[in-house]
């Protein structure tokens, strides 16, 4: 007759196995810490499911019949495998914390996508967590709160923490880019440091430098060029939205922001001429982007991530 397997669960199979081995409902009840009435109910359900009596009562207890002898090894295997499943602790697979990487917001989108795709191509079993770098990125790396950090910094704090952190890569940002809304009035005139200063300005300096103002602003301050700083914005999405809905301008050393204009309608960007850029960097030190890690964190996965990040910064950030 057709067995009703949907009526059989692991506990029922476990009871069948124990009844077969113990020949006693009482002993099975004690071993499994299940009441005798519950054992009886499960035995009844097993008999209905298999359409077979399974056990015969005798003065020696419950004796399994030939049918039960046939299904016992199968049921035993199922129960043994179920016990093996119990031994697998899912927390072991989640216990490892993802590698925390701090990335400057101006390059986070491009770098993150490319890094994840590279990890997939390399079939590297590495989990990462991306956070925006900020004022305390160096300290986070030094104190083990982050595995790696991509910082845009003056470098002074890095020197102060040189006993704890290591600069594994640095790259100068030697170009300047202007961001504005499409059809902005400045696009119809010669773009110079002075002409930019005629319009509202957005400060985007969210790095760890002591000045908290960008190279362009520092140059204007030294040369007594008045600029009207309208707002400070430290988030790329908010920054772009603000630019497209105002007459405010941005001067940034990040080519990644410059490249976004090709993908975003109504956003315009252009590279400042070499002459204007050189005017700034003849007086103001060229800003640098750094990849840093802890000197005391020895981990092959961190070495792998660091190598991938160096490649990406070198190719994606100008």
Look at the block and give the residue holding tokens 């199968």.
74
How far is 316 from 318, CA to CA, in rounded Å? 7
Domains detected in the chain: 5-88 (1.10.10.10), 94-172+288-316 (3.40.190.10), 177-281 (3.40.190.10)
Q: Can you tell me whether residue 127 is helix, strand or coil?
A: coil
pLDDT at position 154: 56
The answer to whether 214 and 254 have CB atoms below 8 angstroms apart is: no
The 10s digit of each residue's pLDDT in 187-208 is 999 999 999 999 999 988 755 4
DSSP string, 55-115: EEEETTEEEE-HHHHHHHHHHHHHHHHHHHHHH--HHHHH-SPPEEEEE-HHHHHHHHHHH
Beta bridge partners of 290: 151, 170
pLDDT at position 84: 79
Look at the block and give the residue holding tokens 């590297």.
124
Structure tokens at 166: 């290591």
pLDDT at position 176: 94
Look at the block and give the residue holding tokens 């669960």.
9
How far is 55 from 23, CA to CA, in rounded Å? 9
pLDDT at position 210: 47
CB under 8 Å to 239, separation ≥6 — which residues? 202, 204, 233, 250, 257
pLDDT at position 208: 45
Structure tokens at 24: 């006693």
Tell me which residue of 15, 20, 47, 10 sits closest to 31, measured CA to CA: 15
The answer to whether 168 and 197 have CB atoms below 8 angstroms apart is: no
Look at the block and give the residue holding tokens 């209905």.
48
The 10s digit of each residue's pLDDT in 88-116 is 666 555 556 789 999 988 888 888 999 99
pLDDT at position 1: 44
Beta bridge partners of 171: 289
Residues of the chain with pLDDT under 70: 1-4, 88-96, 153-157, 206-212
How far is 318 from 288, CA to CA, in rounded Å? 11
Pairing of strands 177-181, 267-271: antiparallel
- Largest distance between two CA atoms of the chain: 109
């Amino acid at each position: 007759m057709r067995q009703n397997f949907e009526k059989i669960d692991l506990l029922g199979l476990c009871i069948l196995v124990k009844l077969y081995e113990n020949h006693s409902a009482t002993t099975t009840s004690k071993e499994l810490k299940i009441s005798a009435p519950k054992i009886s109910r499960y035995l009844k359900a097993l008999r209905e499911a298999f359409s077979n009596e399974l056990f015969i009562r005798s003065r020696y207890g419950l004796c399994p019949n030939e049918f039960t002898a046939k299904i016992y090894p199968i049921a035993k295997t199922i129960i043994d495998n179920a016990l093996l499943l119990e031994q697998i602790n899912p927390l072991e697979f989640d216990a490892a914390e993802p590698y925390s990487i701090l990335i400057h917001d101006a390059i986070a989108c491009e770098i993150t996508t490319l890094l994840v795709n590279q990890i997939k191509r390399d079939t590297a079993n590495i989990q990462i967590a991306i956070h925006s770098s900020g004022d305390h990125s160096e300290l986070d790396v030094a104190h083990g709160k982050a595995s790696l950090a991509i910082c845009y910094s003056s470098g002074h704090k890095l020197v102060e923490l040189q006993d704890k952190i290591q600069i594994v890569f640095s790259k100068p940002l030697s170009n300047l880019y202007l961001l504005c809304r499409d059809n902005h009035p400045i696009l119809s005139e010669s773009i110079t440091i002075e002409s930019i200063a005629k319009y509202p300005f957005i400060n985007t300096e969210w790095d760890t430098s002591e000045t908290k103002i960008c190279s362009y602003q520092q140059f204007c301050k030294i040369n007594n060029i008045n600029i009207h700083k309208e707002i400070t914005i430290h988030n790329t999405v908010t920054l772009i939205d603000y630019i497209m809905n105002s007459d405010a301008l941005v001067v940034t050393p990040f080519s990644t922001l410059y490249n976004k204009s090709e993908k975003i309608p109504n956003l315009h960007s252009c590279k400042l001429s070499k002459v204007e850029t050189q005017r700034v960097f003849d007086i103001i030190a060229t800003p640098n982007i750094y990849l840093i890690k802890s000197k005391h964190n020895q981990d092959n996965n961190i070495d792998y991530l660091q190598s991938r990040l160096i490649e990406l910064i070198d190719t994606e950030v100008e």
